[in-house]
Structure 1
């Protein structure tokens, strides 16, 4: 269930947007904090438990897309992006880097309120996600994953294989749910903490990239199996060290 009185952080450099929006959300049952920049956001996040961030894309200095990417590298706080530019590219990039939803200015506050509630419901109904704070090593098959360094090595001491952030999060999701069939929608939500209504084949591309690194034959995978009509299943036993 979503937390009672969820804590929303509004990050926008425009005071005339930030403050009325915070007031409106407060009147609708949320606890609200505000920040005018990425640096101010960092201070708030360190000091309080934030349930969702409403983040403006077009800000001076560190922009919203860069901030969203940085959030997603270390935290699973849901993010809804706001922008004054109705750019399809920005929308796609924002969702690909981990935003949960996207809204173009000017917007009706009631629509944002509905989207916030929808994201919180979805996020809190998901299976457990990789939290980004685990440490140590995880073994599967002939591979050992160094969680701290996001690097794979063969148990026999082979060459190290680095993983991208998305590949690492996808692998951790599989390792957290071995021998379970995970649908594409579930994987999109668990890996990226975002809505799964972008193009649902984007997760197929990420799985394909991961397979090239961990499978002996990426075209005939044995570790990450495709379940037709269902999604994907990680087939190996997992050993945490």
Structure 2
């Protein structure tokens, strides 16, 4: 994990220096920095990063504006840094491709802990993807098909871009069809921790799944909400023999 490629994006030199020093003290050595949105997008296009720590307020384009550009070139976790604290801002951050949202002022050790948690999930997912198992790696739900080994989501015959955590959450549901899971259980089972559990995180990722697999995301028929209990993925109906 300490060999992970890290990109820090912030227009405050003091924050870049502090986080670089803390990360190096924690054993990380492959750290690049950028001070504006244009440089960050260019860096991600030129190099493969394992994680991006992205400030929201940048001098040219905001972190929220460039996140979709970064997401088009990588599925690496994106952690937003911001002084904004409203739920709307947090939901926006998740909606544009973020995986975590850290409010300034922050404890740098907590930031590193969150980065480690995201890296662990991302790197473990990358390691498991090449396994060429012929059975049990793909789940066909009619309208969509998800292949665990290939790391692909196909909707109506077309391969669809799917960020890592959205993919992992959908895969989890596919492995447990017709079972109801509450938000806290989903967070623990998919995100792998409960210390930083946030209902909004699960809700936003549910919405991002629905945008991909539902005919009408506002009226979901596949990934449904069971009032007061949680969410379940409805398995496709089996045709009975004549």
Give the TM-score band, short-chain normalised: 0.5 to 0.7
Tell me which of the two structures has the higher relative contact order, counting C-alpha pairs closer than 8 angstroms and 6 or more residues apart: 1
Offset at 1:201? Answer: 4.1
Residue equivalent to 1:98: 97
Q: Does 1:147 align with 2:146?
A: no
CA distance in 1, matches of 2:112, 2:143: 48
Offset at 1:98? Answer: 2.4
Give the alignment of 1:36-55 within 5 angstroms. 36-55=35-54
3-state SS in 2 of match to 1:213: coil
Offset at 1:28? Answer: 1.6
- Normalized against structure 1, the TM-score is what? 0.62
Offset at 1:231? Answer: 4.6
CA distance in 1, matches of 2:45, 2:73: 12
Residue equivalent to 2:215: 213
How many residues get paired?
203
3-state SS in 2 of match to 1:86: coil
- Out of 9, 23, 38, the position equivalent to 1:11 is 9
Gapped regions of structure 1 (runs ≥ 5) = 130-138, 151-164, 237-241
- Normalized against structure 2, the TM-score is what? 0.61
- Aligned partners of 2:7 and 2:34 also within 8 Å: yes
CA distance in 2, matches of 1:233, 1:225: 6
CA distance in 1, matches of 2:117, 2:107: 16
Offset at 1:112? Answer: 1.2
Gapped regions of structure 2 (runs ≥ 5) = 130-139, 145-154, 237-242
Deviations 1:96-118 (A, max 9, x none): 32212222222221121111112
CA distance in 1, matches of 2:88, 2:120: 27
CA distance in 1, matches of 2:101, 2:124: 20
The change in CA–CA distance for 1:231 and 1:60 in structure 2 (over 3 A counts) is same
Residue equivalent to 1:160: none
Give the alignment of 1:1-241 within 5 angstroms. 3-30=1-28, 31-126=30-125, 141=142, 145=156, 147=158, 180-181=176-177, 185=186, 197-199=198-200, 200-203=202-205, 205=207, 213=215, 221=221, 231-233=231-233, 235=235
